[in-house]
Amino acid sequence: MKKSVIALFGIVCAAPVAQATVLQFDGLGTNVSLQDSTKGALVANYGDHVAGPGTGIAQGNGYTPNIGVAFQPDGGNTGGGSGSGGDGWQAYNDSEWSVAQLDGIPANNNFDVVFTPDAGFGVQINSFVFDDYGGYAAGHTFDWQILVGGSPITGGSGVVVNADQNLLVNTGLTSAIDGPVTLRITPTAGAIDDRGIDSVNFDQAVAVPEPAAMSCLVLAGAVGLLRRRA
């Protein structure tokens, strides 16, 4: 049986979305940290303040030069094959995959992508793809959340990814948020080294100046469905 819950939450109003970036992770290497500057210029601070074309980055309707991006925890991997190194985000590119791999089991079992707008800007996380590595230990289940100030505003529970499936997850957000926003993914079933995300799509917008922002505080329906299989 499936149960669905629709939540309501407040979002600080921002101007219509002006620019967008899609993180595709192509050409970044295999078993490579997405945060460690010693891994090379391509992957150091990948996705952070994207001002133009780059390896593994696709243009939306512009770029996101005023949005910081951080992947937590850092995989800290020195290479040497699937699962070597440790417990966090890694770029993984081969004939099957071009993804950010959710490798290992971090202490809290959460994999976070943190988006931090510069002052005067907002961020809107639109969608991402959860990608199962075909022909290995197929199939996964995961929960996801969008958090603002540490509190979830939307998400999905018990989301099932079938063997070799690329599952598009739309967040349902319709307005930008003018503070740090976290995309949190928590794997709940499946192999710990054949799961990844791809095509992380997010926008930046110019925040509406006060006091206009106060007058356009909106309630948005979080259409992300919280699914539970009984």
CB 155 within 8 A of CB 224: yes
CB proximity list for 77: less than 8 A, separation 6 or greater: 31, 32, 33, 84, 85, 86, 90, 103
190 alpha carbon, distance to own chain's centre: 19
CB proximity list for 119: less than 8 A, separation 6 or greater: none
Kindly indicate the confidence band of residue 36, based on its pLDDT and cuts at 50, 70 and 90.
Answer: low
pLDDT at residue 221, rounded to an integer: 39
What is the tens place of the pLDDT at every residue in 19-34?
799 999 999 888 888 7
Give me the residues paired with residue 228 across strands: 3
Spatial separation of the C-alpha atoms in residues 27 and 137, rounded to whole Å? 24
What is the tens place of the pLDDT at every residue in 86-127?
688 988 999 889 999 998 888 889 999 999 999 999 999 999
What is the tens place of the pLDDT at every residue in 192-219?
888 999 999 999 999 765 544 444 433 3
User: Is the pLDDT score of 224 beyond 70?
Assistant: no
Residue boundaries of the structural domains of the chain: 2-229
3-state secondary structure of 189: strand
Spatial separation of the C-alpha atoms in residues 152 and 146, rounded to whole Å? 6
